[in-house]
Structures are given as C-alpha cells and as structure tokens.
Amino acid sequence: MSMDRTFFHLDTHDSHLDSDAFPLPSANSSQDRNPTYSLASRTSQSPTISKSMTSSAAAIVDKPGTPLAGAKHIVLLHGPNLNLLGTREPERYGTETLDDVVNRAKAQAESLGIKLDALQSNHEGVLIDRIHQARFEGADAIILNAGAWTHTSVAIRDALLAADVPFLEVHITNVHAREPFRHHSYLSDKATGVIAGLGTYGYVAAVDFAARYMKPKPKTAV
C-alpha cells in the first residue's frame, strides 16, 4: 500500500483501543485535554491501536510468522528541551525520562527485527545534519519530535524535504489543545503521519507503524 504523505491519526477514544493495555482517562478527567499516559509497567503488552487512512480503518495487529514489509532502519530524533523529560512539567509530559522513551522505542524496534538509531539535540544545525545523514546512510524512516522547532523551523522542514526520507511527526501532548501558536506545524503537511496526545506511547505506535507500512525504497546499485 502506498503511504506517500498520507495523513493518519490514532484516536485515543476509538473503540478498537485495548483499554486494559492502554488505560484511558475518564470523561471528567483533565487528562482528556492533554493525556500523558505512563506505560512503564506495561511494556510487555502490545495494545491494538486503530488507524484511519482516508475513509477506511484497520487495526494494527501482530500476525506471528508474517514478515513485516515496512522500514528496516529508523532514525528517532528529538529537538530542544526534550532532554529534560521526566523533570520538565511532569504534569504535562509525564515522569519518564528521554532514556526511558528511547529505550522503549529501541525495544519495540528490536522486537520487530529492525534497527533504530536515536539522537536528541538542542542545536538546530545538529538535528539538520542528522537528517541529512539519514539519507546518505539509507535510513527508511525518520520519527521526529522536533519540539518547539515544529512551529518555527523552515530549516528543518527543508532538510526533511532534501533528505527525502519518509517521516512521522510525534508529539507527547495534544498540541491542538494547547496554546494557539502550537497549532501550526511546518512539518505536518509533508509527514507520512502525525501522532499527538498519546503520551510517550506515541513513539511505540510510530515504530510499529513504520515497521509495517513505511516500505523501504529500492536500493540503487553502485
């Protein structure tokens, strides 16, 4: 299936969500506006997450013995201030550290038989250089939480377009339920998909999706 810049979303209130593996806040909870779930004690479980693509919906499920057709090499990138996860506004972003997030994403990738490299930087040029490198090393997908640069950086947008590596945009919080300036993204219209508001579980969902649906480009013979 072609996923060229196709928008998809993961709905935290969808009936296909396994509520035992991924508990949702109650209707009266303030977390409905900015859910920041912690699954630290539930990493062995794989919730079934529904996804919407155009007008159809399907469930992401494991089929033992079925080889995955998607990405074999993923680059996970984090932008400014995300090195402070765990201590920065824990009521909003949760108590998991960046190391926790990266380790869980790597564990998910390893369980699917794919490679995942990770980098966080507070320096825009460093992140741009790593995006360029992803192209030259033949990465199949980028998972990017650009932080505040999401809303400001034309340079990162241009780097992603120049690298021509499909990417998923991830946000821990529901940015559309926050300040108006966070509602605009310089990246979303070029992303394969956007995941926002699922807490740190969004990274697991992104790895899972990339491994299944973001097909590697044919390698050019040298």
pLDDT per position as a tens digit, 101-148: 999 999 999 999 999 999 999 999 999 999 999 999 999 999 999 999
Residue 218 domain-assigned (yes or no): no
Asked whether residue 2 is domain-assigned, the answer is no
Q: Quick check: is 171 catalytic? A: yes
Q: What is the mean pLDDT of residues 193-219?
A: 91
Specify if 47 maps to a domain: yes
Q: How far is CA 73 from the centre of its chain?
A: 14
CATH at residue 100: 3.40.50.9100
Measured over all CA atoms, what is the biggest interatomic distance in the chain, rounded to whole angstroms? 59
Total domain count, the chain: 1
| Residue 220 maps to a domain | no
Catalytic residue among 37, 73, 93, 186: 93
Positive/negative CA dihedral, 188, 191, 192, 196: negative
Model pTM score: 0.70
Residue 194 lies in a domain: yes
Cα–Cα distances in angstroms (integers) from residue 75 to residues 25, 60, 144, 163, 216, in the given order? 31, 21, 8, 12, 13
Domain containing 135 equals: 8-213
| 172 annotated as ligand-binding | yes
Q: Is 132 annotated as a binding residue?
A: no
Out of 171, 201, 203, 213, the active site residue is 171
Is 109 inside any structural domain?
yes
Q: Is 97 marked within a binding site?
A: no
Q: Is 78 among the catalytic positions?
A: no
Per-residue pLDDT tens digits for 55-77:
233 334 555 556 688 999 999 99
173 assigned ligand-binding residue: yes
Task: Please check whether residue 112 is in contact with residue 208, taking contact to mean a CB–CB distance below 8 angstroms.
Answer: yes
Residue 221 within a domain: no
CA distance 216 to 74: 10
In a domain, 185, yes or no: yes
How far are the Cα atoms of 10, 29, 84 from residue 169, in angstroms, in the given order? 12, 26, 19
